[in-house]
Amino acid sequence: MAGQMIGFVGVGRMGGPMALRLLAAGHPLTVYDTSAEALAPLVARGATVAASALDVAAQAEVVMMSLPTPPVVQAVTTGENGILRGSKIKTLIDLSTTGPSVARVVGAAAGERKVAWADSPVSGGVTGAEKGTLAVMVSCAQTTFTEIDPLLKNFGRTFFVGEKPGLAQIAKLANNLLAAAALVVSSEAMAMGVKAGLNARVLIDIINAGSGRNSATQDKFPRAILPGTFDFGFATGLSYKDVRLCVDEAEAMGVPMVVGAAVRQMLAVTQAKFGADSDFTSIAKVLEEWAGVEIRG
């Protein structure tokens, strides 16, 4: 599929690096984003800027999108000037985290327009997007997956989870709940240890050599919390959105999420205190303030 024109809507923190990987693989790219700053690196590499999301879908048969929230995804796809009204589009791939409800709505709208639909959220953060090491979860028709899999492999390892709309979103929400939960409980444990007199770096090393190791202690603490930079690259508002979607979906399915609800509350506190645009490692700052310690090392 190299050389095939691809459309990309939403080229921010995650979409930008993924779009760059498509350019590096030899695909001509037409892109759209509301931010000129986000578009600049792609233009420098030869991408064409479209006038709108609709214009992208008038130029490319395959359109990908990476957008921040479910309402934005729904508006950009099904709105009056949405992607699904494009004259050329044949396949729409959503790389966003929308939750299963919006995935089902957009999938149904795509079907009505005779556009193949793939729900394909990704996990692995900005670093994974840059390196092509993301986990790419996909739910769509098997024939659609066969066609788009070579494209998606530019981003990382693909996981076909089934044809039912929204299944890939369930997988993504489960993953993001666990990532946030690990960060919350690790922050609590680290605050306790440091207040007792343990060196934060030594405690992290002990945890990572033992049975308590997790994604927060192995990656987020060394990179963004112990140095005090709080710049891991994932916004508190987005993490809160993901966990809220996960808990709401679980409750609708009759699956209790006692711990999940507590994680959601901690993210709500973090967002209220530091803002939706803060890095989600700021959860540790909440614990630092409550405990009266600084987790550094």
pLDDT tens across the length of the chain (297 residues)? 566 899 999 999 999 999 999 999 999 999 999 999 999 999 999 999 999 999 999 999 999 999 999 999 999 999 999 999 999 999 999 999 999 999 999 999 999 999 999 999 999 989 999 999 999 999 999 999 999 999 999 999 999 999 999 999 999 999 999 999 999 999 999 999 999 999 999 999 999 999 999 999 999 999 999 999 999 999 999 999 999 999 999 999 999 999 999 999 999 999 999 999 999 999 999 999 999 999 998
**pTM as predicted:** 0.92
Token pair for residue 121?
Answer: 């959220």
Q: Among the options 88, 114, 172, 241, which is catalytic?
A: 172
* The length of the chain, given as a count of residues: 297
Geometric angle at alpha carbon 274, from 271 and 280, rounded to 5°: 65
* Cα–Cα dist 106/111, whole Å: 9
Is the Cβ–Cβ distance between 73 and 96 less than 8 Å? yes
Report the alpha-carbon distance of residue 238 to residue 1 in Å, rounded. 32
Contact partners, residue 253, CB within 8 Å, separation at least 6? none
Residues pairing with 64 in the sheet: 8, 93
The helix/strand/coil state of 161 is strand
Cβ contact 291:281 at 8 Å: no
55 three-class SS: helix
**Active-site residue, 172 included:** yes
Eight-class DSSP state of 224: I
Per domain, the residue ranges of the chain are 6-165, 176-291
Give the CATH superfamily of 6-165.
NAD(P)-binding Rossmann-like Domain (3.40.50.720)
Do β-strands 156-162 and 134-140 pair in parallel, antiparallel, or remain unpaired? parallel
Query: Domain 176-291 class?
Result: mainly alpha
